[in-house]
Each structure stands twice: as structure tokens, then as C-alpha cells.
Amino acid sequence: LSAVISQARFQSINDWMRTEIYGWTLADQIDDTQFAQLLEAANTKLSHFVMPDGTVQFENAVHIISVVK
């Protein structure tokens, strides 16, 4: 097991939230109204991750597990 710090990058907060919500198990637990509310809050609370060109970038820890048979 090793941990690596990498840079997560998205085209926008909207893209980031779509990936986080609809790319995982939360997709079945959130409706369009709730997602719109989430985006509104995310645009405010996560604005410090937005670069001058509108993209989003932040450090992200990744855990890598290697198994040898």
C-alpha cells in the first residue's frame, strides 16, 4: 500500500460534481432538484479551487494497492 499526492483537475465545478455524484453510488440517491441545490452550494463553498481560467484543481491523495501472485 502506498499513498501518492496528485492533482485532481476538472473543467468546472459542475463537471467535478457530476463526476462525484453520477460516477458513484450516489447517482441513485439524488434527484435533479437536489443536484441543482448541491451545485449552488458547491459553487459558493468550493470556489477557492477554481483557477482563473475556470478550471478546478486541487491536491488529492490516492492510495495504491499492489498485489503480486
**Residue 52 confidence (pLDDT):** 97
Q: What is the 3-state secondary structure (H, E, C) of the chain?
A: CEEEEEEEEECCHHHHHHHHHHCCHHHHHCCHHHHHHHHHHHHHHCHHHECCCCCEEEEEEEEECCCCC
Q: What is the mean pLDDT of the chain?
A: 92
Which tops the pLDDT comparison, 26 or 63? 63
Q: How far is it, in rounded angstroms, from Cα 37 to Cα 26? A: 15
3-23 pLDDT, tens digit each: 899 999 999 999 999 998 988
Q: In this predicted model, which residue has the larger pLDDT, 63 or 46?
A: 46
